[in-house]
């Protein structure tokens, strides 16, 4: 049978969040994956059995890169792919897809006028207009590019402590989405004591080396002997080795967080600013995310913050650290955190894929999110099993007229539903 190509031209985290799609397609035949050259070694180790094609997406244009890309394209043409899954709403991958028959390209399809979207992509884009209600994890967004994707529980292993201590991801690519080092120090200290003093691995790129040094300075000296600062010292295999087997990974929304979920490491994440656990939270059953939930969150990554990153303040509540300690120690949590701008979520799975269940805090959009999951399941033609019905108080109930007008458009009803536009 002719092979399938998946194009994932985005970053580290996106490569891991394409896992459900890639494993689904791999179960159906030979799969090739086109990724940025810098990620090719990592892609090879994450996806054994999938042919990796290193492509120069994110380097400055130069003659050598162009020659390499041309060779890659020639190889793709020879392979005669029966389907090409383009994961990115990007002119770069759209340009590459022009070498295939348009009807063989799924997800984002190039056309003379621009990038056309599948009905699934359009539905997801529509949900992103009201992000606070969105219930769709990015792993499932890509996973459902293929019909009847692999069951969600087959994507990542169940998280289990591996005896290798505590991992701390110092920061993400976007500084605003990470906690300040002073607050991170408080969290690390709290988790360290709650876990009875494990080894600590600090993880990050070279850019985070100063943060690592500052963090160490802020931690009590008796903790220092437990700390191994790996910031700037790991390549991709080194990073995977450092994450594998950890007992807990403390992290903002990062690619390393998804690597942890991929390796079955229990994730304890802190989401703020534009990071939103319902979109990009760790995939699997049993990870935890502390989510800033002030009125302006989740915000737009590309827009400047005009509120002095007030979402950070949610983590300064006096009840936060005791609640965090209770969570890590496995004690019962008070559902009221005494901080209305903070929520604690636990990851779970259902027929549609990854979802989060509220453990503490208040969620005003529970009902809508439950309804939207049912709506998405119908779009994916999934049977509405009990677990999905449990996603909200009454997800089968009719949406409000205003919500109905938002979700259901004349064109969806009257024109062919499977069209690209």
Partner 1 sequence: MPQGPLRILVVLPMYGGSLPIGRYCARALQSMGHSVRLFEAPLLYPAFTGLQRLGLPPAAGHQLENSFLQLVSQSIWAHAQALEPHLVLALAQAPLNRNLLQRLRRSGVRTAMWFVEDYRIFDYWRLYAPLYDVFAVIQKKGIIDELARIGQNNAFYLPLAALPDFHKPVRLTAQEKREYEADMAFLGAGYPNRRLAFRHLAGRNFKIWGSDWEGESLLAGNIQRQGARVSEEESVKIYNASKININLHSSLQTAEIVSRGDFVNPRTFELAAAGAFQLVDERSLLGGLFGADELATFTSAAELYAKIDYFSSRPEEREAYAGKARNRVLREHTYAHRMASLLDYIARQTGPWPQGAAKTDFPPELGSEFYADFERLTHKLGLGPHAPFEDVIACLRRQSGALDDLETSLLFLDEWRKQYLK
Interface residue list for partner 1 (CB under 8 A):
111-117, 148, 375, 378-379, 381, 383-384, 397-399, 404-405, 407-408, 410-417, 419, 421
Minimum separation from the CB atom of position 408 to partner 1 (A): 4
Q: Which residues pair with 4 in a beta bridge?
A: 31, 83
Minimum separation from the CB atom of position 276 to partner 1 (A): 25
Which C-beta is closer to partner 1: that of 123 or that of 259?
123
Minimum separation from the CB atom of position 53 to partner 1 (A): 25
Minimum separation from the CB atom of position 116 to partner 1 (A): 6
Minimum separation from the CB atom of position 381 to partner 1 (A): 5
Which C-beta is closer to partner 1: that of 255 or that of 353?
353
Which C-beta is closer to partner 1: that of 114 or that of 330?
114
Single out the residue of 342, 177, 164, 367 nearest to residue 254, CA to CA: 177
Minimum separation from the CB atom of position 125 to partner 1 (A): 11
Which C-beta is closer to partner 1: that of 61 or that of 401?
401
Which C-beta is closer to partner 1: that of 330 or that of 383?
383
Minimum separation from the CB atom of position 389 to partner 1 (A): 13
Joined tokens for residue 22? 């890639």
Which C-beta is closer to partner 1: that of 115 or that of 246?
115
Which C-beta is closer to partner 1: that of 331 or that of 378?
378
């Amino acid at each position: 049978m002719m092979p399938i190509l998946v194009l994932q031209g985005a970053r580290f985290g996106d490569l891991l969040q394409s896992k459900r799609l890639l494993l689904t397609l791999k179960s159906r035949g030979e799969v090739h994956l086109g990724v940025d050259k810098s990620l090719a070694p990592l892609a090879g180790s994450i996806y054994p059995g999938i042919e990796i094609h290193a492509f120069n997406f994110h380097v400055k244009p130069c003659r050598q890169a162009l020659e390499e890309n041309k060779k890659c394209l020639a190889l793709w043409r020879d392979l005669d792919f029966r389907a090409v899954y383009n994961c990115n709403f990007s002119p770069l991958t759209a340009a590459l897809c022009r070498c295939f028959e348009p009807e063989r390209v799924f997800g984002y399809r190039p056309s003379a006028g621009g990038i056309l979207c599948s009905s699934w992509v359009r539905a997801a884009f529509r949900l992103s207009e009201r992000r606070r209600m969105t219930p769709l994890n990015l792993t499932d967004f890509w996973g459902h590019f293929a019909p009847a994707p692999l069951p969600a529980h087959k994507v990542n292993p169940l998280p289990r402590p591996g005896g290798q201590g505590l991992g701390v991801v110092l920061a993400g690519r976007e500084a605003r989405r990470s906690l300040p080092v002073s607050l991170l120090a408080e969290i690390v200290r709290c988790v360290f004591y709650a876990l009875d003093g494990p080894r600590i691995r600090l993880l990050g790129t070279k850019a985070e080396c100063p943060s690592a040094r500052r963090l160490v300075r802020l931690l009590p000296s008796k903790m220092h002997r437990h700390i191994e600062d790996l910031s700037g010292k790991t390549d991709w295999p080194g990073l995977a080795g450092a994450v594998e087997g950890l007992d807990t990974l403390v992290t903002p929304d990062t690619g390393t967080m998804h690597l942890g979920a991929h390796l079955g490491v229990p994730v304890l994440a802190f989401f703020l600013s534009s990071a939103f656990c319902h979109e990009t939270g760790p995939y699997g059953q049993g990870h935890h995310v502390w989510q800033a939930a002030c009125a302006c969150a989740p915000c737009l990554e590309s827009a400047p913050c005009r509120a002095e990153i007030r979402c950070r303040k949610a983590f300064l509540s006096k009840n936060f650290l005791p609640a965090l300690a209770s969570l890590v120690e496995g004690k019962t949590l008070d559902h009221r955190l005494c901080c209305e701008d903070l929520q604690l979520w636990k990851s779970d799975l259902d027929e549609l894929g990854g979802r989060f269940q509220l453990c503490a805090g208040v969620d005003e959009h529970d009902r809508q999110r439950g309804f939207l999951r049912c709506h998405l399941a119908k779009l994916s033609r999934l049977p509405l099993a009990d677990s999905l019905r449990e996603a909200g108080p009454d997800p089968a109930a009719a949406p409000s007229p205003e919500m109905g007008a938002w979700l259901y458009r004349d064109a969806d009803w009257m024109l062919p539903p499977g069209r690209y536009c």
